[in-house]
């Protein structure tokens, strides 16, 4: 029972078992899910941030259990890391723009954050590549996506500074 729940958690309810581009699909589902939470259900960004931090901590242990007996320590079916990494820029964007947002602006920024995250996650610029190459454990699996998410934040902050 525990292994089944853990499998559902690390594969984001089976999304990781999709044969083609499971990481991109998980990132897209995460983006849509967070839009729903923030703009349909009107959850407070700080509450979502706390939830993401909790999921981050749980995912370190859950991924460790999942990959324990595997030769490949970063299997493509593990996509909870995409959820965490994609959530970081979206949540921080929502915190920074809590009061005034038009839906078209939000959708544009969500799309940009999705694309940038996928670019950084796939190309793995330093330090994303450092965690990917040097930590063959759950910490490395999660942290490379956290770094990719933080790169997205850095690009968006730079854009906002330049355009303001």
Q: What is the pTM assigned to this prediction?
A: 0.93
Name the pLDDT band for 108 (thresholds 50, 70, 90): very high
pLDDT confidence of residue 73: 79
pLDDT, averaged across the chain: 94
Using the predicted structure, report yes or no on whether residue 99 has a pLDDT greater than 80: no
**Neighbour count for residue 154 (Cβ, 10 Å):** 13
């Amino acid at each position: 029972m525990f292994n089944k729940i853990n499998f559902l958690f690390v594969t984001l309810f089976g999304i990781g078992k999709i044969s083609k581009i499971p990481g991109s699909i998980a990132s897209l589902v995460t983006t849509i899910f967070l839009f729903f939470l923030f703009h349909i259900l009107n959850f407070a960004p700080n509450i979502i941030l706390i939830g993401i931090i909790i999921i981050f901590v749980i995912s370190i242990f859950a991924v460790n259990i999942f990959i324990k007996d595997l030769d490949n320590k970063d299997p493509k079916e593990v996509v909870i890391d995409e959820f965490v990494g994609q959530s970081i820029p979206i949540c921080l964007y929502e915190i920074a723009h809590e009061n005034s947002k038009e839906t078209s602006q939000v959708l544009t920024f969500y799309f940009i954050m999705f694309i940038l995250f996928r670019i950084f996650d796939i190309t793995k610029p330093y330090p994303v590549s450092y965690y990917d190459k040097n930590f063959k454990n759950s910490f490395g699996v999660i942290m490379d996506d956290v770094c990719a998410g933080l790169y997205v934040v850095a690009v968006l902050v730079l854009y906002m500074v330049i355009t303001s």
